Every structure is written in C-alpha cells, then in structure tokens.
Amino acid sequence: MKTSLFVPAKCIICNAYAAPSEMPVCEECLYKLQDLLSEKCPHCGNTARDCSCISDIHTPFLFRQDTAKMMLYRFKYWGDKRYMRFLAELGIKAAGINTAKFDGVTYVPRLPRRKRRYGFDQSKQLAKAISQIYSIPFVPTLKRKGGLEQKLLSRGARIKNAKDKYKVICNPEKKYKNLLLVDDVTTTGATLKVCAMILRENCASRVTLFALAKTPTLQPPF
C-alpha cells in the first residue's frame, strides 16, 4: 500500500497538508495554480506556453509570482518524488508538448556540489518522472564539470560557462532522432540552448527544450 495514503504530501504551494491523493496541492491553492497557468508575460502579453521572449523553450509557468517561486523552491530542494511526478505531468501537458515524437528524454545536470548538498539532482528526477509517465527512454547525455552557477553570470558569460562546463557522456554510436532536454528554470535560455547545441553535435538530430518555468525577461536572439 502506498505510503502517501497514510502520509499525504504537503501542498507544494502553501506547505499545508494536502488531501491524501496523487496531487500535492490543497483545495485552497488550486485557484492559485490555475492563475499561474494563465498568467501573461509582461513583455509579449502571452502565457508561458506561448511566450516569445525566449524562443524555442517550452514551459508551463512564468517564474514571477510568489506561487511559482515557492512551488519551484520546494521542487528544487525537498526532493519529494510525488512533486516530481505531479510537476512532470502538469508541465508537459500545460506546455503543449507532444511526447509521442521523442525517442529519449535527458536533462541539464546540477552542479556537483549542489547535488552533494541536497542529495539529488532535481532536473534528473524530473526527466525520470517524464520518462516513466510517458514511456520515453531516459538517457543520461551530459556531465557537469563544476564551475560557477549560471544565475550569477551575465548572458554572455552564461554561454561561455555552459560551453566549458558540460561534457557529453552519451553513446557516440547511438543517434537520437528527437531528444527532450529538461531543466527546472530558465532565465536567458543560454544553458539549455548551449546544451542542445552540444547534443546536436554529438548524439541527436533534433533537441526539444523544456523547462518548468522561465523568467519573463526580454533577450536578444541567441
């Protein structure tokens, strides 16, 4: 019998105990979640799903409201697998991604020191959850070699840092037709786009980019 029947997950938004179900959101916070999905970008006027400020990155949320920040904080630092599955399914559906076209799902690795500190890699767990829910093969393709955190750097520095700090570990004899590359939050899109470029150069014909949230900031073309 599932442990969640006895110990319901705390609400991923308000931290109160949610109902003993597979959805870790309490009844009082459901409207906040709906509001988050329909929030409009202050720059282009579209929802996160159709936001054109950072092109080619599929995402369901804008990383702007306190609701999004608290939800992603708990996802990133608590490591509850129920959160991973909930956000994986919600995020893919809300972002309008057709999962049938992928022959692999991979992820942007967390900094090694962050992984050691918190005991898990949130993007890896999110990719694994997507793999399990949608029956897409999970494929580790990249290794992070350390370095500075991207959020501390300018856009130009992020691009250079990403190029220097990610190493391909996928099988060079295996060429994927369409990989889904997963991350948690994107600000400029530099990390995801550089990682996608590395994968296309080595083991994938096409790479589709997915992040749970994006910061609504106008950026110049990549």
At residue 135, the 3 state secondary structure works out as coil
Q: Does 110 score more than 90 pLDDT?
A: no
Token pair listed for 31: 């409207």
Mean pLDDT, rounded, of the chain: 86
> pTM for this one?
0.87
Report CA-CA distances (Å) from 56 to 156, 182, 193. 19, 13, 9
Q: Does 222 score more than 50 pLDDT?
A: no
Task: Count CB atoms within 10 A of the CB of residue 94.
Answer: 20
Task: Using alpha carbons, select from 150, 82, 63 the residue that is nearest to residue 114.
Answer: 150
Q: Does 19 score more than 60 pLDDT?
A: yes
Q: What ranges do the domains of the chain cover?
A: 48-214
Q: What is the pLDDT of residues 121-174, one digit of tens each?
A: 999 999 999 999 999 999 999 998 765 555 555 556 666 666 778 889 988 778
For 48-214, CATH number out of 3.40.630, 1.10.10, 3.40.50, 3.40.35 equals 3.40.50
Q: What is the pLDDT of residues 34-76, one digit of tens each?
A: 999 999 999 889 999 998 887 789 999 999 889 999 999 988 8
Q: Does 3 score more than 50 pLDDT?
A: no
